[in-house]
Amino acid sequence: MALPAHRPTPTPATIALLCGLIPLLTVHVCYVLSASAGVIPTCIPYLDGCTSISATGRHGWGYVLFKAGMLTSALLLIAYWRLCRDWLLAAGDADGPALRSLLWLGTAGALGTMVYTVFLGHEGDIYNLLRRFGVTLSLGLTVLAQLLLVWRLRRLRDKGDRESIPSRILKAKTWLVTALLLLGLGSIPVSNFVADKDPVENAIEWVFCLLMSGFYLLTAVAWQRSGFRR
């Protein structure tokens, strides 16, 4: 009797790459679909802020694709944060509260993405509340997880691990999380003191999500170069 064929599992670098590419491709394809259908304005959202990311996934094929892409991305992120914990352990980090916090923050952020995605496109106060709760959980906790990862990586590198943590990648990650933190803090006065705040908030949202995806792409490069495996 023939044995079942072995199914190759994706490498950690592939998972990190998909975590960065899938949401980027999803929101941009959904934007093109929705703008072509005339349900959202046509512009450069990173500069003009004419529409939010959420608006790209509310109608037609954009609605279907947005949910499929973002839910897939959230599932991959759960695996990604487990791999980040394994990466730190392989580099010599201690399996203590910091690594457990990293795993729980990243996982909770991914679950927030799921909540936000599931209820996007539904009308009503309860759905709006759940959607806002999900996106706040997703963005806030994910950034905290990214900050924690960078801190642990810098700590390990200071102790002498220069092979599993490429210097340029770590510097780029540090700049990314710093920019994310500044954007998050900068959105507070915009929300409270800018009269026509929607375009500014939308532009910040697009840039914020672009940088978040860039963080995962940098991880993919680091894992590929270091040869990290499960």
**What is the chain's pLDDT, residue by residue, as a tens digit (230 residues)?**
455 555 668 899 999 999 999 999 999 999 999 999 999 999 999 999 999 999 999 989 999 999 999 999 999 999 999 999 999 999 889 889 999 999 999 999 999 999 999 998 888 788 788 888 898 899 999 999 999 999 999 988 887 766 667 788 999 999 999 999 999 888 888 877 777 888 999 999 999 999 999 999 999 999 998 888 87
Phi, psi of 102 (to 5 degrees): -60, -45
Distances from the Cα of 88 to the Cαs of 9, 24, 145, in angstroms? 21, 26, 13
pTM: 0.91
206, amino acid identity: W
Written as one letter, the residue type at 150 is: V
Residue from 168, 143, 157, 163 nearest 218 by CA: 168
